[in-house]
Amino acid sequence: MAVFANYTDGSRKTLYYNLGLMDETVWGDILDSLVAENHTAEAANMNETMYARQRVWSGEADPFGSEMAWDSTGQEGVYYWSNYFHDNTTAQKTVASIRGYMPTVAHWGWNGNARRYWDFLYAGKLGRIERQIHHYGSGLNALPMLSNYRQTADPSSMEAIYDLRVGWGGIQGSGSNIDASGFGSMAFHSYPDSLFWDQYTGDYGPNFVGHILGSASYLVDHPIFGWISFGGNVALSAADGNTIVTVVPRDTVRQRIFVAPLKTYITIDAGMITSYEYQTKDSKLSLTVSPLMGSVIAPSAILAVSGSTLKPQGCAVASGGHKIEFRGSSHPQTIQFA
């Protein structure tokens, strides 16, 4: 049941209307779909609504409260719409806020762990104030960090890679709360006398949403370590003076890749990316897409490219990107970009 508030101007809005809320990235996907499917009136209405909220945040010193003023889950929504409406000042303020409480540390529990203390009181079986390991702040705050990384001017710099490490830590941390039987715990109890997953799933859902929406494979030429992939296995080979970097995605979804030297983010909406190849000398890119997801064969997939002008060859332009036709075949297709 929605909770409404009556305003002095006669309007009636849902409470928390002017706060950043959890999983707002999903709302962005809905808006993009409305535009792609030519639902112009609905898209315009949603665009106007979100823009009005973002204008409120742009005028606030700390627009990061969620249900509670001290929360750390308003940042995802504030960042998403500030970035969407090209308010770089507010977007960067939001990223700086996340950097302040979400570190990269060489420990599974603290790496990418957004600061969360109190939700065991509301949704846990063992109710107490305690530093929670990978509550949903990890998965949700990872999304702005990864988005900001993909848009940085130099994604191979150490400064940019720091954001990638934090964001990737949040994505992996949110996955760590699923046990061997498939149960998703709301968070892990960090007190030394406990050290176990809470037995209630509580509000694990937003954490899993962050994990799925942020899952991708990132290829980076690291200034110290050379070619590495967050979310993939890297193999190097050489041909005709060209270094060929081949990546096999190992992330959860395997439908998104980011190639840092090209500043290119590629997504598909069906099937799986089984591998991709980057040739360093010629800056050529190709990826292999399988229509198989388990036992299901996708008839087609929409491939979208952002961050560069690269286009998939042999794919027709379609709503939302370019269309890959599998035509009932279960065999993978290799897509070249130019």
> pLDDT tens for residues 222-232?
999 999 999 99
Residue 6 is predicted with a pLDDT of 57
How confident is the prediction for the chain on average, in pLDDT?
Answer: 93
Is 192 contained in some domain? no
Q: How large is the average pLDDT for residues 139-148?
A: 97
Is 298 contained in some domain? yes
Range of 256's domain? 215-338
Is 163 contained in some domain? no
Question: Is residue 3 predicted with pLDDT exceeding 60?
Answer: no
Cα 111 to Cα 335: distance, rounded to the nearest angstrom: 35
Is 300 contained in some domain? yes
The string of pLDDT tens digits covering residues 35-82 is 989 999 999 999 999 999 999 999 999 898 776 656 778 999 999 999
Q: How confident is the model at residue 17 (pLDDT cuts 50, 70, 90)?
A: confident
Question: Is residue 295 predicted with pLDDT exceeding 90?
Answer: no
Is 135 contained in some domain? no
Q: How confident is the model at residue 327 (pLDDT cuts 50, 70, 90)?
A: confident
Is 17 contained in some domain? no
156-to-46, 168, 202, 222, 323 alpha-carbon distances in Å: 36, 15, 38, 6, 30
Residue 69 is predicted with a pLDDT of 58
Cα 77 to Cα 140: distance, rounded to the nearest angstrom: 9
Residue 283 is predicted with a pLDDT of 95
Q: Running DSSP on this structure, what letter comes out for residue 22?
A: T
Question: Is residue 16 predicted with pLDDT exceeding 90?
Answer: no
Is 236 contained in some domain? yes
SS3 287: strand
DSSP tally for the chain: helices H, then strands E: 8, 18
| Closest among 112, 222, 99 to 157, alpha carbons compared | 222
H-type alpha helices, the chain: 24-36, 40-58, 75-84, 88-101, 120-123, 136-150, 158-175, 204-214
Is 199 contained in some domain? no
Cα 159 to Cα 36: distance, rounded to the nearest angstrom: 35
pTM for the whole structure: 0.94
CB atoms within 10 A of CB 202: 20
Q: How confident is the model at residue 18 (pLDDT cuts 50, 70, 90)?
A: confident
CB atoms within 10 A of CB 187: 28
Token pair listed for 208: 């899993």
The string of pLDDT tens digits covering residues 182-211 is 999 999 999 999 999 999 999 999 999 999
CB atoms within 10 A of CB 91: 24
Domain count, the chain: 1
Question: Is residue 4 predicted with pLDDT exceeding 80?
Answer: no
